[in-house]
Amino acid sequence: MNNQKRILIIDSVISLSGTNQRFRQRKGIDTILGTREYCPYILISEPVLLGKPQEFFQRKSFYDNRIETYFVPNLLIGSLASNRILGKIGKIMFSICNLLLQSMYLLHLTIQVLCLVLIKKIDLMHAHNPPDLAGLASLVVSKITHVPYVFEIHDRSPEFFCDEMGLTEASVVFRLMKTIEYQVVVNSKGVITVNERTADYFSQYGGPTPVTIYTGTKINRNDIIKKPLEKRRGHERIILYQGTLNMAIIGKPAFYDLELPIKAMPYIIENFEDAILVYVGEGSGRPRLEKRSKLMGLDSKIFFTGLVSRGQLFEWIRKAEVVLIPFGDNPNCHTTVPSKLYEYMALGKPIVAPRLPGLSEILDHERNGLLYTVNSIDAFSECVQRLLDDSELAKKIASNAQQDFISKFSQEKNWPKLISLYNSILD
């Protein structure tokens, strides 16, 4: 270890869904551990909802136990989306409380990073967003110690959080967050993005040229649980969405328009009576989706699995004839590419997704996917029915998607870039 260069990974993802959403970070850790050049340490910044502190400790089991891991709690008084339903006085109090809590969190995080950099003799920091406060702590520590940092951008953080809170781009909060984002990017020694659209956006800041590392996935087919799926009959044709079932309080989806497939089902079953819609996953939006299904008389056509194992998830995907990425018309969706897209491609499934810039970078209409106009029930329904009706088209699209994954988006094609970036900075 004495000859190894030391990397401090600062992961500050705010996620209160209770699911493991750090697949990308884990792949980065696996890549680092796969070399003999670097020794990683992890500093996890976990959100803690006041009143539910036990969830903070329960989620510790999600982290890698092969390396030294440290934790910094990030206290929150409630979901950011709660700001949408508060009155004027409530919004002011909500903002003040969160500002104080986030200031204390940033101070604690910065001190922790500084201590680890000095005590562990860290050579390079690697901060993740969202939020951008992990990057800001790295910036401050870098100014003090002259240890460089890399900033990895998963989402456009200001747009993401202000949309959650119902704030406009004219708000003081948004402008402050954009200032932080700009300073973190231009002062870093390396910027990592998840796709080329995001890279194009952040290259305008004038900092380091962004390096795109597609998340990809790695599926061991021996881990797929090949057994009959409960409550399903073998002849049913499955249309599948998999992921967290969360929706914003006021009805506008933060990312996914999860009601769109339900609204389209009456049109689909007119021509395909054996079609069913399956939601694989769990989340706070599930009761609302179930209510919508019942109101439309679709109880027998829509099935919710709840939480399943990774092997069961892949078996559901393998059984599906059509897989969905029903993004909503959200600014962040224009540059975001979800991990499930790579899983669909790796397993060779025909994909239906909206025609948005980030997804269109990877999916080519009628070649490796079918794209529809965002929020259009008619266009969505038409795409699904085309795949159910034309088996040759479905096979062609699925095969092209799988070949594209192997040649462009697999982990083997992308993650060596991480070590190359580290080397370019430290050598």
Looking at the domain covering 221-409, what would its CATH class be? alpha beta
DSSP state of 209: P
Side-chain-side CA neighbours of residue 40 (13 Å): 27
Specify the CATH architecture of the domain 5-216+411-426.
3-Layer(aba) Sandwich (3.40)
Residue 237: its pLDDT value, please?
Answer: 94
Residue 417: its pLDDT value, please?
Answer: 94
Order across the sheet with 275-280: list the strands. Answer: 302-306, 275-280, 237-242, 322-324, 351-354, 370-372
399 contacts 9 by C-beta, under 8 angstroms: no
Helix 391-404 to helix 339-346 angle (10° resolution) is 110
* Amino acid found at 41: Y
Residue 14: its pLDDT value, please?
Answer: 47
User: Which 3 state secondary structure label does DSSP give 193?
Assistant: strand
Q: What per-residue string of b and e applies to 16-50 under the rule 16 or more CB within 10 Å gives b?
A: beeeeebebbebbbebbeeeeebbbbbbbbbbbee
pLDDT along the chain (427 residues), means of 10: 85 48 74 88 76 44 68 73 66 77 91 96 93 93 97 85 74 88 96 89 93 80 54 75 72 72 96 95 87 93 90 90 91 80 92 93 95 95 97 96 91 90 93
145 contacts 118 by C-beta, under 8 angstroms: yes
* Amino acid found at 20: N
Within the chain, which residue ranges are assigned CATH 3.40.50.2000?
5-216+411-426, 221-409
The burial of 234, by beta-carbon neighbours within 10 Å (0-12 exposed, 13-18 middle, 19 or more buried), is given as exposed
Token output for 403: 């070949």
Chain centroid to CA 361: how far? Answer: 17
Quote the CA–CA distance of 106 and 100 in Å, as a whole number: 10
Residue 179: its pLDDT value, please?
Answer: 94
If you write DSSP's letter for every residue of 310-373 in order, what string do you get?
Answer: HHHHHHHHHH-SEEE--B-S-GGGGT---HHHHHHHHTT--EEEE--HHHHTT--BTTTBEEE-
Quote the CA–CA distance of 159 and 217 in Å, as a whole number: 27
Record the pTM: 0.78
